[in-house]
Amino acid sequence: MKVTAFLMNGRYSVKLEQNLLEQTYKFRDDQITSVDQLKEKMNKEFYSDCIRQFQQMDINRLKLLPDTDVEDHFPSII
Q: Where are the domains of the chain?
A: 2-50
Q: So what's the pLDDT on residue 15?
A: 98
CA atoms of 30 and 1, how far apart (whole Å)? 27
Residue 18 has pLDDT above 60, yes or no: yes
CA atoms of 15 and 3, how far apart (whole Å)? 6
- Quick one: average pLDDT of 68-75? 66
Q: So what's the pLDDT on residue 69?
A: 57
pLDDT in tens, 42-63: 999 999 999 999 999 999 999 9
Report pTM. Answer: 0.77
Q: So what's the pLDDT on residue 71?
A: 63
- Quick one: average pLDDT of 30-42? 94
